[in-house]
Amino acid sequence: MSNLELYITNDGSHTLINTDLRESYHSIYGAVQESQHVYIDNGLAAIHKNEITILEIGFGTGLNAYLSLAFARESKVKLNYFAIEKFPLPMDIVQKLNYPQILNLAPSDFLALHKNIWQQQIILDEFFNITKYPIGVEDFETNKKFDLVYFDAFAPNIQPDIWLESIFYKIAALLNPGGTLITYCAKGIVKRTLKKCGFQIESLPGPIGKREITRAVKL
């Protein structure tokens, strides 16, 4: 992927910039601090169950999954992790990302998350397994139900087809009653669409450099 450039964000952690879209995978104020704040602290940590099934829309660099793995081990919560990524990163780029060094976590676990194994469960340990799909959310079909959705697609102005009403209705159908969707995006049109699709909306304080994020709970 010659259109991807490595970039060091303000907390020292890497992100990638898609030069064709002129869009970064994470906040330039800090990739790790953004993912930790949005998806772990205000998403995963708010689900009080011993076993949690997660769907990530936009696997990207694998940072959210890596932080979730660390949370699972520390909290002794079993995570069944499913991830959708239409454009998986090549391993030569993955190997350059500095998350293992920044987080002081095992590099082998990070590489395991990126194994080129699709639609098959990869078991890392008793607390974490992952199944990945190299498709778009519009093509994702499953009988499984989820407790939590990490909605981490590119912004609505970059990928408007991912933020459609039809997509959020689909996600609502995939969630258990009381299930949660968490996203960095706080645009009014997104919150109104989520509300129309049967979610109760919470506007929460954002990470450094962002005023708000959105948590949506299925009614």
Look at residue 1 in the predicted model and tell me its pLDDT: 63
Look at residue 2 in the predicted model and tell me its pLDDT: 79
Q: How far apart are the C-alpha atoms of 189 and 19, rounded to whole Å?
A: 26
Q: What is the pLDDT along the chain (219 residues), one digit of tens a residue?
A: 679 999 999 999 999 999 999 999 999 999 999 999 999 999 999 999 999 999 999 999 999 999 999 999 999 999 999 999 999 999 999 999 999 999 999 999 999 999 999 999 999 999 999 999 999 999 999 999 999 999 999 999 999 999 999 999 999 999 999 999 999 999 999 999 999 999 999 999 999 999 999 999 999
Q: Full-prediction pTM beyond 0.75? A: yes
Question: Token pair of 41, please?
Answer: 């602290």
Q: In the chain, where are the structural domains located?
A: 30-218
Cα Rg of the chain, angstroms:
16
Look at residue 96 in the predicted model and tell me its pLDDT: 97
Residue type, 104: N
Look at residue 140 in the predicted model and tell me its pLDDT: 97
Fold of 30-218: Rossmann fold (3.40.50)
